[in-house]
Amino acid sequence: MSKPKLTLLGAPGAGKGTQSSNLVEEYDIDHITTGDALRNNKDMETEYGTPREYMEAGELVPDPVVDEIVEAALADADGFVLDGYPRNLSQAEHLESITDLDAVVYFEVSEDELLTRLTGRRVCDNCGTNYHVEYNPPEEEGICDECGSDLIQRDDDTEETAKERLRVFEENTMPVVEYFEDTDSFVTVDGEQAPDEVWADLCDAVEAQF
């Protein structure tokens, strides 16, 4: 049987990364995340400059760069969860031209909650596990429970850059939500709930679509 092909839409901090990990474990699918791919190649020279310049300002990296990353990853994937793509209408059209999705899931979360989540997020420098200083703290402050490495704050999780990312989401990615809203594959999940409640709703949504 074929595996699910999914994309998660949601503002910065909506929980896309957190829930992607659950999906990968449950369905044994690939996690395709443009954010992590770009963070791992921040200083890659492209004809548009480096990803770092855009990411540290909270702006979108130019479409040709991300489209290429996604196309290469999809070519190798059986089932997948896309996390952070598409982020504008042009990327949405590109995606539809290269694959068929089983579900487009939108996590709805209020702006106040998003800012609290982003500024409190800490990430393992080594294995990438996500924490939150208040909602999901590690056993020992600043140290990863999984591998013992140091936790760091992402460069773009400062209040100023996080606010700019939320603005960019409203301007560029909300139109993508509206674009998929009327299609059969679209589902909204209340992302403001606790992580395990979000996961329960997400599972139901995926099972219903797939």
Positions touching Zn ion (CB under 5 A) are 124, 126-127, 129, 144, 146-147, 149
Which of the choices ligand AP5, Mg ion, Zn ion, none does residue 124 contact, using the CB cut-off of 5 to 8 A by kind?
Zn ion
* 6, 30, 81, 132: which one binds ligand AP5 (CB under 6 A): 132
How many CA within 13 A on the CB side of residue 87? Answer: 25
Contact 13, 117 (CB under 8 A): yes
* 5, 6, 7, 10: which one binds ligand AP5 (CB under 6 A): 10
Annotated catalytic residues are 16, 87, 121, 154, 165
E strand map for the chain: 5-10, 30-33, 80-83, 103-108, 121-124, 130-132, 151-152, 186-190
Contact status: 4 vs ligand AP5 (CB under 6 A): no
Q: Is 142 left (phi over 0), alpha (psi -120 to 50) or beta?
A: left
Residues 38-57 contacting ligand AP5, CB under 6 A:
38, 54-55
Q: How far is the CB of 3 from ligand AP5 (least distance, A)?
A: 21
Residue 103's φ and ψ, nearest 5 degrees, are -150, 140
* 17, 58, 79, 86: which one binds Mg ion (CB under 5 A): 17
Contact 174, 89 (CB under 8 A): no
Token readout for 167 is 């603005």
* 9, 23, 151, 198: which one binds ligand AP5 (CB under 6 A): 198
Which of the choices Zn ion, Mg ion, ligand AP5, none does residue 4 contact, using the CB cut-off of 5 to 8 A by kind?
none
Q: What are the residues whose beta carbons fall under 8 Å from the beta carbon of 46, sequence distance 6 or more?
A: 62, 65
Q: Which residues bind ligand AP5 (CB under 6 A)?
A: 10, 12-18, 34-35, 38, 54-55, 58-61, 66, 84-85, 87, 91, 117-118, 121, 130-132, 135-136, 156, 165, 193-195, 198
